[in-house]
Amino acid sequence: MPPDLHSPDIVVIAYGSLLSGLGLQPFGRLRVRHAARVALVNARRGFGKFSQHGDRFAMALEPLRPDEPLRAQTLAADAPPTEAPEGIAFSVRPNDLARLSDREGYSSGAMQRLRQEATARRQDVAVFLWSQLETAGFDTSSYRERLFKLISYTSPHYIPHPVRLNDAQVALTFVAPGREGSGSSTVVPVRVRTGTVELMTAPEAWRRKPNPTQLAYFSACLLGGMHGVAIHDLLLPLADDARLSERVRAALRTEQQHELPRFLDMTGLDHGSYWTCFGPPTHGVRRSGLEDFMSGRNARRSALG
């Protein structure tokens, strides 16, 4: 189906700190038109990119099979948790995409130039970037080189990347470049400069950055579990570090009661829309694995079966 050129909405997939109101708060309010949990297919995530916003490691996303695209499937509010990492797909307006780009360290001006390239081809920007990835044979290095040649810009932090959504649409996410490069030999990825090209678990990141800023970032990511986003992949490694687990629980306890109203405020969703998208909050905390973790039941097991 061709894009609706009269609809400016763009679907952006969050998989780290943007999963929570706490993580969204420094960014400011989004005008979210719709939201849904998504399962991220052919993907893994972990802490691996030194942040430009503080002395901490931020979340990174990588394909399990580098020669295949990232994919996502939307999940009904009452769907059981999946084995894949999960995130949230936010439908936002172009100016919010521009602000998100700046937050992720990718110039909003560069994003605007990509949108102009897309408009010239009568495509929305996500479909346009998918066409660039497809032309590159789903090779990420070649894809980024094509973007750099188009607009003479790339970023060492995060770069917009298309995600095939429900096999019929295209969404965007932001991916931190690693060994595969930024698309320009003169722009060295932060992950390469800092020697963190491998994804880390929370305990591994903590051993390198045992500070309040890193702990707060863990909280911002894990509070996505309040909205039913399955975060078992992030929680299970904490079973090996009882002291860190307790510190994380304590940090989460101070934020839990504020998370739902803060998330509604940051996204502009009302209670009815939230319930439609995510279901009852009590079910969400149970679904995500956060309830078990907060109760101390974080042994090496999966809540999936």
What interhelical angle do 212-222 and 242-267 show, nearest 10?
A: 60
Asked whether residue 79 is domain-assigned, the answer is yes
* pLDDT tens series, the chain, 305 aa: 333 334 579 999 999 999 999 999 988 899 999 999 999 999 999 999 999 999 999 999 999 998 899 999 999 999 999 999 999 999 999 999 999 999 999 999 999 999 999 999 999 999 999 999 999 999 999 999 999 999 999 999 999 999 999 998 999 999 999 999 999 999 999 999 999 999 999 999 999 999 999 999 999 999 999 999 999 999 999 999 999 999 999 999 999 999 999 999 999 999 999 999 999 989 999 999 999 999 987 544 444 44
Helix (H) or strand (E) segment spanning residue 74: strand 71-75
Which sign does the torsion angle of CA 58, 205, 38, 254 carry? negative
Choose among 122, 100, 163, 127: nearest CA to 6.
122
Spatial CB neighbours of 21, under 8 Å, sequence gap ≥ 6: 223, 258, 259, 260, 261, 262, 263, 264, 265, 266, 267
Distance CA(206)–CA(256), nearest Å, equals: 22
Q: Which residue has the tokens 């998100």?
A: 100
Distance CA(289)–CA(280), nearest Å, equals: 15
User: Residue 166 burial (CB < 10 Å; 0-12/13-18/19+)?
Assistant: middle
pTM: 0.93
Structure tokens at 106: 């990718």
Residue 79 DSSP class: P
Asked whether residue 300 is domain-assigned, the answer is no
Question: What pLDDT, on a 0 to 100 scale, did the predictor assign at position 4?
Answer: 37
Domain that holds residue 80: 10-294
Asked whether residue 304 is domain-assigned, the answer is no
Asked whether residue 110 is domain-assigned, the answer is yes
Distance CA(89)–CA(165), nearest Å, equals: 9
Residue 304 phi/psi, 5-degree rounding, is: -80, -15
* Alpha helix positions (H), the chain: 21-24, 94-103, 108-120, 125-135, 140-151, 190-193, 202-208, 212-222, 232-235, 242-267, 271-278, 281-288, 290-294
Chain centre distance of CA 240: 25
Q: Other C-beta atoms within 10 Å of 270: how many?
A: 10
Cα-based distances in Å from 246 to 215, 294, 296: 11, 9, 8
Asked whether residue 303 is domain-assigned, the answer is no
Distance CA(162)–CA(10), nearest Å, equals: 11
Bridge partners, residue 61, by sequence? 45
Asked whether residue 5 is domain-assigned, the answer is no
Cα-based distances in Å from 48 to 58, 93, 206: 6, 29, 11
Asked whether residue 176 is domain-assigned, the answer is yes
Question: What pLDDT, on a 0 to 100 scale, did the predictor assign at position 298?
Answer: 56
CA angle (184 as vertex; 160, 101 as ends), nearest 5: 25
Question: Does residue 232 contact residue 304 with C-beta atoms inside 8 Å?
Answer: yes
Question: What is the count of structural domains for the chain?
Answer: 1
Cα-based distances in Å from 208 to 15, 16, 213, 265, 289: 22, 19, 12, 34, 26
Residue 296 phi/psi, 5-degree rounding, is: 85, 5
